[in-house]
Each structure stands twice: as structure tokens, then as C-alpha cells.
Chain A
Amino acid sequence: MDWNTMLSYDWGAMMPEFIILGTTMILSILDLFWPKHFNRRKLAWLALTGIILACLSLISLLSFETVSILSDTFRLDSFAKAFKLLLLFGAALIILLAEGYEPREGLREHRGEFYYLFLTALLGAMVMSSSGDLITLFVGLELLSLSSYILVGMRKRDRKSNEASMKYVINGGISTAITLFGMSYLYGVTGSVNLGEMSRTMAAMTDGQLQYIMGLAFFMVFVGVSFKIAAAPFHMWAPDVYEGAPTPVAAFLSVISKMAGFVIILRLFLSLFLTASGDTFGALDFLEKNNIYIASLAGLTIIIGNVVALRQQNLKRMFAYSSIAHAGYLLVAVATLGGGYFLLDTVWFYLMAYVLMNIGVFAVIQLLSSQSGSEDISILAGMGRKSPYLAMAFTVFILSLAGIPGTTGFIGKLNIFLGTFITEPGHFVLAGIMIAGTIVSYVYYFGLLVQVFFRPVHSEKIIKIRPGLHIVLIICVIGTILFGVAPNIAFDFIHDQFGDFTDFISSK
């Protein structure tokens, strides 16, 4: 392979990644050389600019045909475009959160790193979402993981932060090992790491033993990745880590990291296991045959997330459990494969809704906890009277998380339900668990609203909102309501731009 072949690839398709990478470099150099007294908060705006530029370049790439570089180690298909868009959008919001982040003991001199580690993590997620190759996928995943391990431990003097980071790294290491172990088997039974090739080999596979190993690999990869999305059985780190992590990082974990997890799940499952034959006769698809496992894990995730959240007094822990539950809802869509018609757009829409509402919630939490130094739910008390607009925004997010009509959360859930019912036999049990979980979630979600509106004021301090947070809140509120009332804006966009994601697997 010579230079010309190298140049023959359409590297323009990687523009967003390059922009993010470049921004990271610029940030790290600036951080290194700028005088110490220089307020590094400004770097956040630079990072934001980078993300926005990346976003714009991605939008300009939307009309591109599917691009594949270097035998699929990078591919820009509709799936990648769609999810990268979300990743960038979410990351932009989180950078704004991070801009306004002022923990009690301060980030001190590490604010610069704080910002560009977000970018590297984002880069990892982006690489992951547009890779058609196990190695790239794995490297991207690890880039994301390593960045987030560090981010979680950023508040060095905070013992909770240390502990969270340690827990995160240990669990993350185990999950990586399990995933990798699974991947090694996948490589073994297919002899390739290119998803397209693997898919073809697996579809043609009729040997029972190889299929069995493939199944083992499937479960290992799935359980390993369930760490990323914080789903059962690998969900337990989430509450501790969220609690210890800086709030923007917790938001990042619950939104971007989770999204990346779903990206990898969808990439792997849809390209490999959807077409792989599920038995030696090739009569059933592998996923079709084994979706009961995912379904039970999804159900378990929903139950655990919602039920344990009932007992939480710490806001971040509560939203950790809530995010577990939401991962469960999304897994329902994965398990049922959206009934065949509602998978990718459903997951995409739900993740978008989740970005909006969850980041909004974390913005409020960050605001309040940095004011009061506590993360107990009682800091919400009396917000309704003290700062009604903030309270209203919070209410919108909570209602959306609870899936109340008029918000994006509702439309997202509705989509998932459609997928569970459309086939015969419908996944009624799973849908039942999901709906029951939703009702249980009312209890704690509305418990927060009870604090906000019914309880006497917690502290009379006026809440000062930084402009960054202002923007986040406004975007999230508008988005949550807009896509709840007129979801077709999003649906039409995704259908017009990406159709049915038909270019998912390289046809080579």
C-alpha cells in the first residue's frame, strides 16, 4: 500500500474526527503553555467551538454516500452519521455543563485537562460509531473508557472521586477483559475482524460447535458492553461512580458513554448476529432465537433501576439508577429489534430524548449542588418558589424522564412499545415490565417534584446561573418539549436523511 492508495481514500469523511482531534491538540498545547493565572474556563468555549465545527462538518457530510476507508476500519454510513450527530450534540451540552462546573474544592489547575479529556472520550465514541472493524471498535471503546476513568477521578482531593474512579477502573478493566475474550472467540470462528466479512462467514455457518462458541462470544461481548450502558448484570458500578464523579462527568457517563455502548451493541449485533444463523439448519436468526436473554436482562435492568432508585436520597445516585432503568428501556427496543420496523430510529430518538432530558436534569443538579455543597434531594426543596423558571425547567425534564405525554420521553417510549407489540407474538411480558417500571419511576420522579414544589425553601441563597448552563437549560427545555409536541421534526429528519439505514453493512 503506497502513498497514493492512502491518498485515494476520501479522508474528508473523517473531517469531524480530525476537527475534534485537532481541537484536543490545540487545547492540550494551550493548556500546557498558557500562564497559570490564565482562566482556563475559556478553553471550554474553544472546545465547544471545536465540537460545533465538527458538528457542522458532519452535517455537511450528511449527503455523502457511504464512505469506507481502509477496509472498513472507518466507515461513514447513515448509522455513524446519525449517532455521531447525537454524540456531538450531547458532548456540546456537556462541555457547557463542564464550563460552569465549580466543585467545592475546585478543579484547581486541571481544568484544561478536564475539557480536552472530554474531547478524547468523544473522539473514542465517534471512532467507535463509525467503525466496521473489531479492532477500531475496541480501540475506540478503550479510548472512551480510559478518558472517562481519568475524568471520574479528576477531583483528586475528593475521596469520593478517587474511590469512584478506582471502582470504575476495576470494573471497567474486568468488562474490557470479558469483552475482549468474547471478541477473540468471534475472531476465531470467523477468522476476520472486519464486520462485513464476519457477518458473511457467520451467516453461512452451519457447524453447531462453532455456533455455540459464537453464542458464548455473543454473551461475553454483551455482558462486557452492558458495563458501558450500565445494564444488568453489569450496572452496579453506576451509582457509586456517578455519585463520586464530577457532575458533568456523571452526565457524560449517563449520556455519551451510554450512547456509545448502544452504538457498539447495535453495530455488533446488527451486523453480526442478526444475520447469523441461530441453529444448524440456518432456520432461525441467532438474535431471533436468543432474544429472550436480552429481553430478560432488559427486564431485570428496568426492575433494578426503578426499584432501587426508590430508596435513594442522593440525587446523582438516584439518577444513576434512573439511567440504569432507561438503559433497560432501550434494551427492550434492542431485544425486540423494534419489531423489525422500529429499531434504529427508535433507539436514536430515545437517545436524543435522553440526551435532552438527562443533561437538563444534571445541569440542575450541578447548579444546586455546587450552591449548597450537598447532593441530597433536599437541596431541591422550595425551588419552585425560589426560582420558578428553573423549577419549571426541572419539571419538564422530570416529566419527560417519567414519560409523560407532551415531552420527548413519551414519544420515545411510545416508539419502543410499538416495536414490542407489532410482531406476533408480541413481547407483552417485557412491555408489562417496562410499563410497571415506568409507574414505579413515577414515585421517585414525582418525589423530586414534591421536593421542588411542596417543601419549604431549603436555602434562601439566590441561585446564580452561569451563561453556559443557561444555554444548556434552554436548549434542553425547548428540545424536550418541541420533540414531544412535534416529534415529526426529528422523525422526518432521520427518515429523510438516513432512510432505513440500509447501508449498515458493507456489501463488499
Chain B
Amino acid sequence: MMEHAWLIPIFPLVTFLVLLLSGGRLRDRGAFIGIICTLASFVLSLLVLIERFKEPTYNISIDWLSFGGTQLSAGFEINQLNALMLVVVSLVSLLVQIYSKGYMKGEVRFSIFYAYLGFFTFAMLGLVMAPNLLQLYIFWELVGVGSFLLIGFYFYKLEAKAAAKKAFIMTRIGDVGLLIGIILLFWETGSFEYGEIFQAVQSGMISSEKLTLIAILIFIGAVGKSGQFPLHTWLPDAMEGPTPVSALIHAATMVAAGVYLVAAMFPLFMASSAAMQVVAITGGITAIFAASIAMVQKDVKRVLAYSTISQLGFMMLALGTSGYVAGVFHLMTHAFFKALLFLAAGSVIHAIHTQDMEKMGGLWRKLNWTGPLFLTGTLAISGFPLLSGFFSKDEILMAAWENGSYILFGLAVVTSFLTAFYMFRLFFMMFAGDSRSQAEQVKESPFIMLIPMLALALLAVIGGYIQTPWFGTFLGEWLVEGNEALLGASHSEGPVWIMLMAVLVSLAGIYLAYMIYVKKKLSREWLVKENSEVFRILENKYYIDEIYHFTAGYAIKGFSIFLSYIERFIVGGLVSTVTSSIEGLGKVGSKLQTGQVQQYGMIAFLGLAVLLVIFAVTGGYLR
């Protein structure tokens, strides 16, 4: 089966091409093509995964680009990590596509939407399957384009346009880091292939400074893609895209690519403790930073977006503290419950046509399916015991503790408290209390939208059981199989109190939210008034966007304008100086041509006299 794995990304590509070439004529039928193709991918991925349980890593490649004596190859590889990712990606994509069938109903460019989804899925699957860094980079960029297209799907909306551009450029910045990293790595190891790179790393061919530099550069790529601080600003803006897109891209797949990258390059990072530090600290900061912003946002999707950033930070933190399994595990569970959350939020938005939390409330009764599904997701992400998020988050905390990075551990704990708080703030504001919506008719979403949510909810609930302290650490063992030395332990051990504390913390968060937003024991206005400064900073997302706008944005623009002055006055001026001086010479020449014949003779004679005098003086004939 694995030798046919190359078909997995091809199916979505076919969707893309067929739908694009049909030029929108297929309309709603486009969805079927998309869904069927993605289903095929999913089934194939599942088969590949199952086969991969039994068989070793599969790798095949062909010559792709040769220069000098170097041959670069293209191909694909099926190892534990990407087999898992294939399933996750194709599954989420499939579910999102099914969901979109309902959500996007009535959209004029319906089939184009599916085409874009197909392209994105193709790119993401390709990324996951890449056997070498170059190929990874290629699909990495394609993923960026896919997300660009999807975010900018509503191209006529100025915000969407800006968001799409921002997303592309911010991730591009990261990509450049990645590119440099790859290139440096190539010159150090002579290859882009994972295997050869890891071998080189292990053999200690590369000096540690170089290694750190390369690892950090690669991490910058991950930072861009995964919306880590400080390149995170595109992610919340990207919510301008259709909600299913947010679910697909900004929950399960593209943003996870950064984490995937770090995971895939884990041996490299392991070889440099400094790089690991950087990863962990960035993750930790991002986690708490995004969580704090999420607490005050009013837009449903933005809260979820910041929550995503925060969770990704969690994953990075896990990886940075050697919690390879923890990171990947959380990546998977997060994919499920965040996709669920987005889809459920989309369902709500679909129902009442607003994203503003202030205008919601009391939806629990009206949306009989969506409410509980959203709650499931919320509980999972908050780390409510026995749901998937609980296990994976627990694993991360353990990893951080075990690694001895207590500050980061503290950060993680605080973050999980905040997570629980803002998620339930979101939940309560949407579903509890009285309706603040102007919408008259609030209708539950159609069945086709509910199915994917149900599937995801199921996964969000049970997904954690493949790696628990109690029922075995199946996932971890499988993931690190054969690579223990490289990837570290399959399960992080820690004191039991950590788990208890995690539970307590998340429950505390939930309780606090309950007190504020349901019981109204604590007045929101009072909170705002007391901490107005803090609130303002948080509401404005720490002014990061503004800082960028006023520094980098203005700097670039200013420099451009400066250069255009140089272009006009110095480069152009040089040219015009030359031309005008030649013309001036011509002017002088023609001025001399007075029409006075005697002057002509005089000038001729003058010339002769000058020649003779020079000749007399310098000739050396007379002594």
C-alpha cells in the first residue's frame, strides 16, 4: 500500500485541477468531487497508517535536479510521524469539506472554494510526505499559497485582502529563515535528506555553533508558519477567511506544520541545547502571551485564533523541553478539538450571522446540537479530565517538569488556567445567559454540517486514549520506535501532583469564568475599570501590529521612497548631468560658430599657433 502513497496528495490535486479548469461551472457538484477525492486520500492514508504499523519506513525517490556532481532527488517517505499526520490531515480536510458543503451553500464561487481546499490539502499532504528538506520547503510554501488563497477567498473584502497578504508575507519571513537554514545545512551535510542529515548531525560533523544557528533558522520557519511570537500577527487576521478554512488551516494543518517541522527535525534540535532553549522559551512566551490576549477578545474566531496560537506555543514548549511525544500528541489532539471548536463556532456564525460575542448569548437552547458539541471542544481544550486535551496537556506539563525547566513549567500551568478561563468565557458568553442577538430566527445547522462536528467531537473525546499514563503509551512507543536515541522517551514521567494540579487549575479557570460570565459575581465592568491599562494593552494585542506597522512597515516604505528619490535625482541626475553637459558643450560649440568668417580663420590660426608654441616648448629641438 505504501508504494502507492504518492496518490494521497494527488487526489486533492486532481480536485483542484478539475474544479479550476471547469471554471466554476460545476457549482455545488464541485463539493462531491472534492469530498470524494479527499475521502480517497483519507482511506488511503488510513491504509498506509495501518500498514506502517507493521512495516518499516518506506522511502522512494527519483533524480530531480542535478548540478555539478550533486543530485537532488524527489520522492516520498512514510515514517511513523508522517503516517500519523497524513491521517490527521486528510481526516480533518475531509470533515471540513463535508462541513463546507453546508456552510458555503449559495456561494457563487463554490467550486473554486473546493478547488482551493483541494490545493491546500494537496500541499499539506505533500509537505507531510516529503522525504527531504527541499521538498518539505517546496510544499511548505505551497501550503502558504493555499492558505493565502483561502484567506483571501472573499477577495472583494478589504480586510480579507489585507489578511491574505499579511499571512503570506509574515509566513514568508519565516520561510526565508527556513530556506537559509536548509541551505546552510546542505553545505554542512551535503544533503537535504533527513536520514543523511541526522547521520551527519550525530557523527558530530557540524560545529555546535553552526548547528545552533541552523536549528534556530529552521525554527524561524516554524515560528512563521505556526504563528509563534513574534510572527503570530497574521493568524488572528486570517480569520477573515471562511470559517471552515479557519478550521482546516488554522487549527489542524498549516499552523501545525511548524510543529511538524520541528518534530521532523527533532534530532537536529536535540543536538543543540541552545536551540532547544529557544524553541521552548518561544513556545512558552507565545502560549501565555496569546492566552492573555484571548481573554479580552470579542470576536469568536479571534478568541479561537489566539487560543490556537497559545496551544501551538504549548506544543513548541513541549518539543523544546524534549517532549517529542508530548508535542506530537498534543498536535494531534489539538487538531481534533480545535477543528471541532472552529466548526462549531462556524455553525453558530452560520446561524446568527455575527462573530461578535457581545451579540450572542443564550444559544444553548436554540442550538441543540452545536451547543453540546462546542462544550465538548471547550472541555477538551481546557484540559478537563478524561478528554483528549487533558492527556496531551498533561504530557506536556510532565515533559517540562522532567526537563527541569521550572519557569516554563510555571508558564504552562498559568497558561492552562488562562486557557480554561477564556475558553469558558467564550462558551458562556455564547451559550449562557440571555440572547443578545438581533437575529430573529436562529436555526440549527443542517445535518451535513453536524456530521463532521460529531466525528470530531468523538475524536476529541477519545483521541487522548492512545497515550495515557493508565492505559498505556501506545502512541509514544510507536512514534519513537527505532529512534529512541534520537527522539527521547516515549512517555514523560512526572510526579502525580502535576496531573492533579493541572486538573485543579483548569477547573479553577472554568469556575472563574462561570463566576464572571454566568453568575456575574464579579462585574466585568469593574474588572475593566480597575485594570483599564492592562485591558487596553490586551485588547490591542500588546500593540504588536502597530509596532510592526510603525517600524518595519514604515521603515520599508520610507526606504523605498528614499530610494525612489535616489533613483530620480542621483541615478537620473547623473544621466541628465552627462547629457546636459554634452548638450552644453554643443551649445558652446555652436555659439562659437558666429558666422563671422574671420573668426573661423582666427580660430584655425589660433589652433596652429598653439600647436607651434607647444611644439617649440616641448619639442626639444632648440637648445
Contact, chains A and B (beta carbon distance below 8 A): yes
Binding site for B on A (CB under 8 A): 166-167, 170-171, 174-175, 178, 208-209, 211-212, 215-216, 219-220, 223, 226-227, 232-234, 236-237, 239-240, 279-280, 290, 293, 297, 303-304, 307-312, 440
Cβ of B582 within 8 Å of any chain A Cβ, yes or no, is yes
Given the interface contacts A209-B622, A308-B593, A310-B582, does A236 sit within 8 Å of B615 by beta carbon?
no
Q: How far is the CA of A303 from the CA of B600 in the complex (A)?
A: 17
Q: Are the CB atoms of B583 and A215 closer together than 8 Å?
A: no
Given the interface contacts A215-B619, A290-B615, does A236 sit within 8 Å of B586 by beta carbon?
no
Binding site for A on B (CB under 8 A): 582-583, 585-587, 589-590, 592-593, 595, 597-601, 603-608, 611-612, 614-616, 619-623
Q: Are the CB atoms of A209 and B601 closer together than 8 Å?
A: no
User: Which residues of B have CB within 8 Å of A175?
Assistant: 604
Shortest beta-carbon distance from B204 to chain A in Å: 57
Shortest beta-carbon distance from A410 to chain B in Å: 23
- Interface class of chain B by DSSP: helix
With A175-B604, A208-B623, A308-B586 given, name 4 new contacts (CB 8 A).
A223-B604, A279-B620, A307-B586, A440-B582
What are 12 A-to-B residue pairs whose CB atoms are below 8 Å?
A: A174-B601, A178-B605, A216-B612, A219-B611, A219-B615, A233-B607, A236-B600, A236-B604, A293-B615, A307-B589, A310-B583, A311-B590
User: Which residues of B have CB within 8 Å of A308?
Assistant: 586, 589-590, 593
Q: How far is the CA of A496 from the CA of B595 in the complex (A)?
A: 47
Shortest beta-carbon distance from B595 to chain A in Å: 7
User: Which residues of B have CB within 8 Å of A304?
Assistant: 589
Q: Are the CB atoms of A166 and B597 closer together than 8 Å?
A: yes
Q: How far is the CA of A327 from the CA of B599 in the complex (A)?
A: 21
Q: Are the CB atoms of B598 and A170 closer together than 8 Å?
A: yes
Q: How far is the CA of A236 from the CA of B615 in the complex (A)?
A: 23
User: Which residues of B have CB within 8 Å of A237?
Assistant: 597, 600
Q: How far is the CA of A436 from the CA of B20 in the complex (A)?
A: 56
Q: Which of A215, A297, A309 contacts B621 (CB 8 A)?
A: A215
Shortest beta-carbon distance from A296 to chain B in Å: 9
Q: How far is the CA of A303 from the CA of B621 in the complex (A)?
A: 31
Given the interface contacts A212-B619, A308-B586, A310-B586, does A239 sit within 8 Å of B593 by beta carbon?
yes
Q: How far is the CA of A440 from the CA of B585 in the complex (A)?
A: 12
Q: Are the CB atoms of A236 and B612 closer together than 8 Å?
A: no
Q: Which of A166, A219, A309 contacts B608 (CB 8 A)?
A: A219
Name the residue of chain B whose CB is nearest to the CB of A290.
Answer: B615
Q: How far is the CA of A304 from the CA of B604 in the complex (A)?
A: 13
Shortest beta-carbon distance from B612 to chain A in Å: 6
Q: Are the CB atoms of A236 and B608 closer together than 8 Å?
A: no
Shortest beta-carbon distance from B623 to chain A in Å: 7
User: Which residues of B have CB within 8 Å of A167?
Assistant: 597, 600
Shortest beta-carbon distance from A41 to chain B in Å: 33
User: Which residues of B have CB within 8 Å of A178?
Assistant: 605, 608
Shortest beta-carbon distance from A292 to chain B in Å: 10
Q: Are the CB atoms of B608 and A223 closer together than 8 Å?
A: yes
Q: Are the CB atoms of B601 and A311 closer together than 8 Å?
A: no
Shortest beta-carbon distance from B609 to chain A in Å: 10
User: Which residues of B have CB within 8 Å of A303?
Assistant: 585
Q: Are the CB atoms of A171 and B600 closer together than 8 Å?
A: yes
Q: Are the CB atoms of A236 and B622 closer together than 8 Å?
A: no
Shortest beta-carbon distance from A207 to chain B in Å: 9
Name the residue of chain A whose CB is nearest to the CB of B611.
Answer: A219
Given the interface contacts A167-B597, A236-B593, A279-B620, does A220 sit within 8 Å of B608 by beta carbon?
yes
User: Which residues of A have CB within 8 Å of B621?
Assistant: 208-209, 211-212, 215, 279-280
Q: Which of A211, A297, A307 contacts B582 (CB 8 A)?
A: A307
Q: How far is the CA of A178 from the CA of B609 in the complex (A)?
A: 11
Q: How far is the CA of A175 from the CA of B601 in the complex (A)?
A: 8
Q: How far is the CA of A312 from the CA of B589 in the complex (A)?
A: 11
Q: Which of B598, B599, B615 contacts A215 (CB 8 A)?
A: B615
Q: Are the CB atoms of B600 and A311 closer together than 8 Å?
A: no
Q: Are the CB atoms of B615 and A216 closer together than 8 Å?
A: yes
Given the interface contacts A290-B615, A308-B593, does A233 sit within 8 Å of B606 by beta carbon?
yes
User: Which residues of B have CB within 8 Å of A220?
Assistant: 608
User: Which residues of A have CB within 8 Å of B623?
Assistant: 208
Shortest beta-carbon distance from A167 to chain B in Å: 4
Task: Indicate the member of A220, A227, A308 with the most B CB atoms within 10 Å.
Answer: A308
Q: Which 5 residue pairs across A and B have the least CB separation, nearest first? A: A233-B607, A212-B621, A308-B589, A236-B600, A234-B604
Name the residue of chain B whose CB is nearest to the CB of A223.
Answer: B608
Name the residue of chain A whose CB is nearest to the CB of B614.
Answer: A293
Name the residue of chain A whose CB is nearest to the CB of B584.
Answer: A307
Q: How far is the CA of A290 from the CA of B604 in the complex (A)?
A: 19
Given the interface contacts A233-B607, A279-B620, does A170 sit within 8 Å of B597 by beta carbon?
yes
Q: How far is the CA of A166 from the CA of B595 in the complex (A)?
A: 12
Name the residue of chain B whose CB is nearest to the CB of A226.
Answer: B604
User: Which residues of B have CB within 8 Å of A171?
Assistant: 597, 600-601, 604
User: Which residues of A have CB within 8 Å of B587?
Assistant: 311
Q: How far is the CA of A428 from the CA of B582 in the complex (A)?
A: 21
Name the residue of chain B whose CB is nearest to the CB of A219.
Answer: B611
Q: How far is the CA of A166 from the CA of B620 in the complex (A)?
A: 41
Q: How far is the CA of A265 from the CA of B267 in the complex (A)?
A: 85
Q: How far is the CA of A125 from the CA of B605 in the complex (A)?
A: 25
Shortest beta-carbon distance from B491 to chain A in Å: 78
User: Which residues of A have CB within 8 Å of B607?
Assistant: 223, 232-234, 297
Shortest beta-carbon distance from A54 to chain B in Å: 34
Shortest beta-carbon distance from B613 to chain A in Å: 10
User: Which residues of B have CB within 8 Å of A279?
Assistant: 620-621
Q: Are the CB atoms of B604 and A227 closer together than 8 Å?
A: yes
Q: Which of B595, B603, B604 contacts A240 (CB 8 A)?
A: B595
Q: How far is the CA of A290 from the CA of B618 in the complex (A)?
A: 10
Q: How far is the CA of A280 from the CA of B586 in the complex (A)?
A: 42
User: Which residues of A have CB within 8 Å of B593?
Assistant: 236, 239-240, 308
User: Which residues of A have CB within 8 Å of B595?
Assistant: 240
Shortest beta-carbon distance from B117 to chain A in Å: 53
Shortest beta-carbon distance from B604 to chain A in Å: 4
Name the residue of chain A whose CB is nearest to the CB of B589.
Answer: A308
Q: How far is the CA of A308 from the CA of B589 in the complex (A)?
A: 6
Q: How far is the CA of A167 from the CA of B619 in the complex (A)?
A: 34
Name the residue of chain B whose CB is nearest to the CB of A237.
Answer: B600
Q: How far is the CA of A458 from the CA of B587 in the complex (A)?
A: 27
Shortest beta-carbon distance from A448 to chain B in Å: 16
Name the residue of chain A whose CB is nearest to the CB of B623.
Answer: A208
Shortest beta-carbon distance from B182 to chain A in Å: 47
Shortest beta-carbon distance from B608 to chain A in Å: 4
Shortest beta-carbon distance from B347 to chain A in Å: 66
User: Which residues of B have CB within 8 Å of A212?
Assistant: 616, 619, 621-622
Shortest beta-carbon distance from A249 to chain B in Å: 18
User: Which residues of A have CB within 8 Å of B597?
Assistant: 166-167, 170-171, 237, 240
Q: Which of A233, A280, A310 contacts B603 (CB 8 A)?
A: A233
User: Which residues of B have CB within 8 Å of A174?
Assistant: 601, 604-605
Shortest beta-carbon distance from B614 to chain A in Å: 8
Task: Indicate the member of B582, B586, B614, B619 with the most A CB atoms within 10 Å.
Answer: B586
Q: How far is the CA of A175 from the CA of B592 in the complex (A)?
A: 19
Q: Are the CB atoms of B622 and A208 closer together than 8 Å?
A: yes
Shortest beta-carbon distance from A336 to chain B in Å: 18
User: Which residues of A have CB within 8 Å of B583?
Assistant: 310-311
Name the residue of chain B whose CB is nearest to the CB of A212.
Answer: B621
